[in-house]
Amino acid sequence: MLNMNMMMIAGSNRTNASSTCLLRYIEGLLKNRKISVTLVDLREQPLPFFSPDEQELHPNVQRVLEAASNADGLILATPEYHGSVSGLLKNALDYMNAGHVAGKAVLSVSSAGGPVGVSSLTHLQTIVRNLHGVNCPEWISIGYGSNAFDPDGAPLDEGMRSRIQNAVEQFVELTGMLAAKAAAAN
């Protein structure tokens, strides 16, 4: 199997955000499989508002784009905001083009205040499609926000842990297939 390299983008601007907590949990699952992971937390590494006029890229933007370019697969995390993606994550994605995402597997995950937040996930899948990425057939939505995790950062619900495990396995398998295809083409 190829040595895989994943990039994760945490799209909440909240301290102890549940969507970021979910990413950290997934990061642990990937690292258990000896997969290398770069996590960009947009709260800790804020990006200026994207402007097509701006020629010079902020160092944080350069880091995000470099990590995306080097990644075999991406995981995007957002809070459910008014049935959509956070502005923070959308802004980061506006910096990207197909060169960063095309042909790569992308897993979308969300955290909602209500029981489920799939509207943001649907919107993320549309954005990924427009960047020519390959949406993972599974996605992850955790409900009831920060009540969903134990103090060690693991989801409290056993069914949720199992769904996350399954989605991550499918994402890793898809990433491996697409990365092997890309390697063979080069």
Ligand X SMILES: Cc1cc2nc3c(=O)[nH]c(=O)nc-3n(C[C@H](O)[C@H](O)[C@H](O)COP(=O)(O)O)c2cc1C
80: contact with ligand X by CB under 6 A: yes
Does 117 sit near ligand X (CB under 6 A)?
Answer: yes
The conformation of residue 155, written as its DSSP 8-state character, comes to B
From 9-17, 93-101, 125-133, 176-184, span contacting ligand X (CB under 6 A): 9-17
Residue 108, φ and ψ in degrees, nearest 5: -110, 135
Least separation in angstroms between residue 25's CB and ligand X is 13
Contacts of residue 182, Cβ cutoff 8 Å, sequence gap at least 6: 103
Does 12 bind ligand X (CB under 6 A)? Our answer is yes
Q: Are 167 and 37 in contact (CB under 8 A)?
A: no
Determine the Cα–Cα distance for residues 141 and 180; give it in Å rounded to an integer. 29
Least distance CB 109 / ligand X (angstroms) = 10
Amino acid present at 66: E
91, 108, 111, 175: which one binds ligand X (CB under 6 A): 111
Amino acid at site 107: L
CA distance 95 to 57: 10
Q: Of 13-21, 30-38, 42-50, 101-109, which part binds ligand X (CB under 6 A)? A: 13-21
19 forms part of the interface with ligand X (CB under 6 A): yes
Q: Which stretch binds ligand X (CB under 6 A): 16-24, 39-47, 153-161, 168-176?
A: 16-24
Q: Are 117 and 123 spatial neighbours (Cβ–Cβ below 8 Å)?
A: no
The residue type found at 158 is E
> Can you tell me which of 28, 46, 99, 114 binds ligand X, judged by CB under 6 A?
114
Q: Which residues bind ligand X (CB under 6 A)?
A: 12, 14, 17-19, 79-83, 111-114, 117, 145-146
